[in-house]
Amino acid sequence: MDASQQPSGSRAAGVPPSITPELIAFAGQMYDSARKGEIAVFQQALPAGLPPNLTNEKGDTLLMLAAYHGHADLVRLLIQHGADPNRLNDRGQSPLAGAVFKKEDAVIEALLEGGADPDYGSPTAMECVSMFKQEDTWKAKFESAPGRGKARPPSQQ
């Protein structure tokens, strides 16, 4: 079938032909589920092949969305399935810095356990700890974090 035979309106403008409107809608549902902490959705979708680092148009991964919205159990599940705890969004922000900003202590713990680097991103999570006056709670844990100093930009991994 050549281009003249394809049904009109079957694809969004600028979207590659392999990305269907249904796939875009499904991805949107996954982002919403991450924001809502719907762990049961991901307990099914990740083993079925959902990419754990699925990323939206702002560069936010499922992990970033779950972390920012306070869903520590979902953060752990995503990391167990290969989500990168150091993946930065398009503004250079890390999930750990977002969790510090939101004061999501259980999420911070989950990210540190999962290898998050407190010295990565802009601002770094360590800088956020200082900005938001949380040194008493997090500075020592961040300094001894197993992932500290290990994050690298994707091109250097």
Q: Quick check: 117 pLDDT over 70?
A: yes
Q: What is the rounded (10 degree) CA torsion for 33, 67, 80, 89?
A: 90
Please determine, for residue 157, whether its predicted confidence score (pLDDT) is greater than 70.
Answer: no
Give just the sign of the alpha carbon dihedral 80, 91, 71, 111: positive
What is d(CA 9, CA 7) in angstroms, rounded to the nearest whole number? 6
pTM comes to 0.86
Average pLDDT score, the chain: 89
Q: How confident is the model at residue 3 (pLDDT cuts 50, 70, 90)?
A: very low
Whether domain 20-152 has CATH 1.25.40.20: yes
Q: Quick one: average pLDDT of 119-140?
A: 95
The residues, any chain, with a CB within 8 Å of residue 153's CB and separated by 6 or more, are none
The Cα–Cα gap between 111 and 63 comes to: 9
Return d(Cα 59, Cα 63) in angstroms, integer: 11
